[in-house]
Structure formats: structure tokens, C-alpha cells
């Protein structure tokens, strides 16, 4: 199984929320009960207030969930675990309920979130969108279409630099995992063949109890890969003694003006590693604000804003006649 263990996914999410985001509270919106296993670490280790609501796009309750959070103002930070095919509808819904301002943040956990057309996120009015991925950030011209998913995925794998078209029901990450699985199988067979000639199995069927005598040796050859011996589309492949994949990279992406951008990654060895260039973000903000005048409204209060100007009936509006923490911060 090349999927990361559910405990690793939970640990990656907890690290991201506590160390990078420092969220004091969150709302967890999930679509399937069995996915709650992934959030075992989150539910047990999250240090703040947590509200959970189940999402079901097949009825009207999903709209009630968004309406609840909007009317109660109980949360403005969310982990959203819904299928990729329903994320665009979710974005439209939070836009209708005015939940896309700079006060809101959303983390999407579907592995295929990065393949959503960035135009779908244009509903945002300052909200922060992040996503988890098993793949590194891919530079794609992505376009939705109602063509055959398997054919589209195959054409993408054959031509990764081209334009990819997919139906909304397709999972591109799944096909990358299948591709890595086949590469891993070929690595195991090559190792087996290097030791002795391989006689192909004959007369075998999935319905019979007959086994291939080299099967256990092939499994051992596959499980013995380590380090950089096997590196696929989903990263380095190696296994723990119990057979689960270990030290898999979980990529963390953040939506920018031109689409998703790298924020960092998490793995079992390195834990959370932030790769985002914050200096570039600062330069982008400065460029956006250049030539604009910002007006800041405050009140006189010690030690934040204090008056030191002439004592007249009406206090001066000259900036030099005011001092305090807020003034110093603005000057910086």
C-alpha cells in the first residue's frame, strides 16, 4: 500500500496547525465517517476549541452547516475533508455566505485539490486557502472536461508537460500511485532476476489456492527498497517492518494569486519543514501597496497612543505630537 499511513496524515495536519498556523480553534467539516480515523491525532492533540460537522452534498444539510458557522461566528478557520468534485460547490457556498474575507482560512485535505482550476478560488476576498498533497507542486495547464478519466490520466502520464483534461470524478493522485506501484513491482522483479532466472507462473488463477513459489521472495525484494533506491512521482518509497509505507512526503500548498504555491512539507524524519519564501511574499505585498495611502483609525489609550503635543482645546492631528506602541509600530 503506497498510501501514507493515516497516523502520518494526522501528524502532518497537527504540526501544520500548531507550528505554522498557531490556530486556537477550528471547525472540521468531513464527508465520510471512515475518514475520521485520519483525524485521530488531530482530535486528541489539538489544543484549542474544535467543532465538527458532517458534510453531505446530496441533501440541503451542507448548506445548513455553512449557515451555522456564518450566523454563530463560532469558527473562521476550517479543515475541509470533502471530495475534490465538491470543492467548487463549497467555494461558491462560502462566497454566498460572505465567508471569504481575510478573517477566514481553509485547509483542504483531498489529495487532488491542487488540480482544481485556480479560477474556482477567485471567490476569495482575502481568505487563505491551503491544501495537502501526495505530489509535489506540478506546473500544469489544467482544464476540466467530461472525457474518459482513464484515457486522460494515461495521456497525462505519457505527456506530463502538456495540458491535462479530466472529469470531476477522476483522481489524478490515484493514477500516480498506480504508476509508482508498477515501478516498484518492476524494481522487485529486477532484483529477483538478478539473483536467479525467473520462471513465469503457469496455470494460476485468483480463484485457486495455488501460489507462486517465488511470490514471498518477490515481496521481500519489494519491501527491502530504502533510501533513494525507489523514487516515484509520489516521492521516495520505503517500508516499515509492518509493511506500511514510511517517511512519505506530504506536501503543503498555499493558494497565491497565480495558483497554488509551495508552503512546505512534512515527513516522519524531518517533521514540518517550511520552504515558503516569505521575503517574496513581503515584496509582493509592498508592490501591491505602492502608491496607496492607508488610513489607520485608533483611540487615545496608554501605552498604545498618547498625546504629547500642545495643550489646546482640540488636540493636534500632527503625527509628531503623538507617540506610543501603535505609533512606533506604524513608523516601523
Distance CA(278)–CA(36), nearest Å, equals 33
pTM of the model: 0.77
Residue 66 pLDDT > 80:
yes
Report CA torsion sign: 305, 311, 315, 318. negative
Instruction: Give 198's contacts (C-beta < 8 A, 6+ positions apart).
Output: 189, 192, 214
- Mind listing the pLDDT tens digit for each residue in 196-233? 888 877 777 888 888 888 888 999 999 999 888 899 99
Q: What does the DSSP 8-state code read for residue 292?
A: P
Upstream peptide bond of 303 is cis (omega within 30 degrees of 0):
yes
Three cell numbers, residue 39: 483525524
Residue 155, helix vs strand vs coil: helix
Phi, psi dihedral angles at 288 (to 5 degrees): -70, -35
Confidence class of residue 141 from pLDDT cuts 50, 70 and 90?
Answer: low
Task: Answer yes or no: are the C-beta atoms of 275 and 138 closer than 8 Å.
Answer: no
Instruction: Return the C-alpha torsion angle 143, 144, 149, 152, nearest 10.
Output: -20
DSSP state for residue 125 in the 8-state scheme = B
The grid cell for 329 is 509600530
Min mean pLDDT across 19-28, 189-198, 268-277, 288-297 is at: 288-297
Amino acid at each position: 500500500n503506497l498510501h501514507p499511513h493515516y497516523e502520518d496524515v494526522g501528524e502532518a495536519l497537527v504540526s501544520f496547525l500548531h507550528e505554522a498556523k498557531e490556530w486556537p480553534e477550528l471547525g472540521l467539516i468531513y464527508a465520510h465517517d471512515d475518514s475520521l480515523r485520519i483525524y485521530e491525532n488531530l482530535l486528541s492533540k489539538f489544543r484549542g476549541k474544535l467543532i465538527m460537522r458532517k458534510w453531505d452534498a446530496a441533501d440541503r444539510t451542507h448548506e445548513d452547516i455553512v449557515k451555522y458557522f456564518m450566523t454563530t461566528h463560532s469558527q473562521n478557520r476550517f479543515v475541509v475533508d470533502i471530495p475534490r468534485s465538491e470543492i467548487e460547490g463549497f467555494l461558491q457556498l462560502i462566497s454566498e455566505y460572505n465567508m471569504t474575507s481575510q478573517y477566514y482560512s481553509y485547509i483542504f485535505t483531498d489529495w487532488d485539490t491542487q488540480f482544481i482550476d485556480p479560477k474556482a478560488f477567485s471567490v476569495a476576498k482575502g481568505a487563505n486557502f491551503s491544501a495537502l498533497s501526495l505530489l509535489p507542486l506540478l506546473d500544469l495547464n489544467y482544464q476540466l472536461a467530461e472525457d474518459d478519466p482513464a484515457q486522460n490520466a494515461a495521456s497525462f502520464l505519457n505527456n506530463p508537460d502538456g495540458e491535462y483534461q479530466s472529469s470531476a470524478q477522476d483522481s489524478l493522485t490515484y493514477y500516480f500511485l498506480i504508476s509508482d506501484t508498477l515501478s516498484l513491482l518492476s524494481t522487485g522483479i529486477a532484483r529477483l532476476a538478478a539473483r536467479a532466472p525467473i520462471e513465469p507462473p503457469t496455470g494460476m488463477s485468483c480463484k485457486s489456492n495455488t501460489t507462486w513459489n517465488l511470490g514471498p521472495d518477490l515481496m521481500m525484494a519489494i519491501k527491502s527498497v530504502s533510501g533513494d533506491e525507489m523514487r516515484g512521482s509520489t516521492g521516495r518509497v520505503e517500508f516499515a517492518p509492518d509493511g506500511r509505507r514510511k517517511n512519505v512526503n506530504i506536501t503543503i500548498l498555499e493558494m497565491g494569486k497565480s495558483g497554488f504555491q509551495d508552503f512546505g512539507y512534512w515527513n516522519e524524519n524531518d517533521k514540518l519543514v517550511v520552504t515558503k519564501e516569505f521575503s517574496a511574499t513581503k515584496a509582493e505585498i509592498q508592490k501591491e501597496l505602492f502608491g496607496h495611502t492607508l488610513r489607520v483609525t485608533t483611540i487615545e489609550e496608554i501605552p498604545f497612543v498618547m498625546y504629547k503635543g500642545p495643550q489646546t482645546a482640540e488636540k493636534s492631528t500632527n503625527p509628531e505630537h503623538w507617540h506610543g506602541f501603535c505609533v512606533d509600530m506604524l513608523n516601523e
